[in-house]
Amino acid sequence: MKRTPKSPPESGSLLIFGAHPDDVEFGCGGVVASETRAGRHVHLVVCSRGEAGTHGTPAGRTIEAQKAAALLGATIEFLDLGGDAHFEPSIKNRLKIAALIRQYRPSVVLAPTLVENQHPDHAVLGRLVRDATRSARFGGLKELRRWPAHAVTQVIYYAVSVEAEPRDQVPVFIDVSDEAVAQAWTAAMQAHASQMQTRSYADFQLARAAVNGQRAGVRLAIPLFPNDPLVFSSLAAMGRGARRY
């Protein structure tokens, strides 16, 4: 359900954007499962229906995405940005995303990384979301006056593949080792059965999480990349580092 214009922001709520029906599940599905199990609301916005994909149909992939979101404990909707493989960094698309940010009023927004060496829709969407979060807080934009301005706490990027991980940025690792979280994440990835005809993406992402888990000193971890410096009220709130000194 969409928020009404007068709804206050939900503490800890997440709004996550994916270019295609499986991107969120493959790139950060474990994070979604972890957040929803902690009682935080997560809403997914999928910006195409996989129209250009080699396997599956738009109708079928829509159903797969809805099933996957339910398995993760998230809500979901679809936003038209011109169709799969047709994303453009236009003002029109930026304002569409900014309108959703004002409606849902999330604390944190997640989007694909800006790295160019990946599906072109991913990087375009990442830039659109980054710019839309800024537009969402500008009170004078006439196109958005239906909803009150809203400023998110953080814009954070996820990488759908190893190639999409920024090489010049230290990641923030999210521990997704909990068995219930890992099972929900695996089931959500497997819900995209049409895409498993290309390769076993679920196995690939779990192997990637295991490697990142080794880096972080846990069983499974997902890397995230904040757009801006993280600010903590105290050193105690920072958690631990990945290195064991």
Cβ-based neighbours of 167, under 8 Å, separated by 6 or more: none
Question: Residue 141: what pLDDT?
Answer: 95
Mean pLDDT, the chain, integer: 93
pTM more than 0.75: yes
**CA atoms of 126 and 129, how far apart (whole Å):** 5
Q: How confident is the model at residue 11 (pLDDT cuts 50, 70, 90)?
A: low
pLDDT band at 83 (very low <50, low <70, confident <90, very high): very high
Contact 24, 66 (CB under 8 A): no
Q: Where are the domains of the chain?
A: 14-227
- Determine what percent of the chain is predicted with pLDDT higher than 90: 85
The pLDDT value given to residue 5: 41
Task: List own/partner pairs for 239-243 with CB under 8 A and 24 or more apart.
Answer: 242/173, 242/215, 242/216, 242/217
Does domain 14-227 bear CATH number 3.40.50.10320?
yes
pLDDT digits (tens, 9 = 90+) for 37-80: 999 999 999 999 988 888 889 999 999 999 999 999 999 999 99
| pLDDT tens sequence across 119-138 | 999 999 999 999 999 999 99
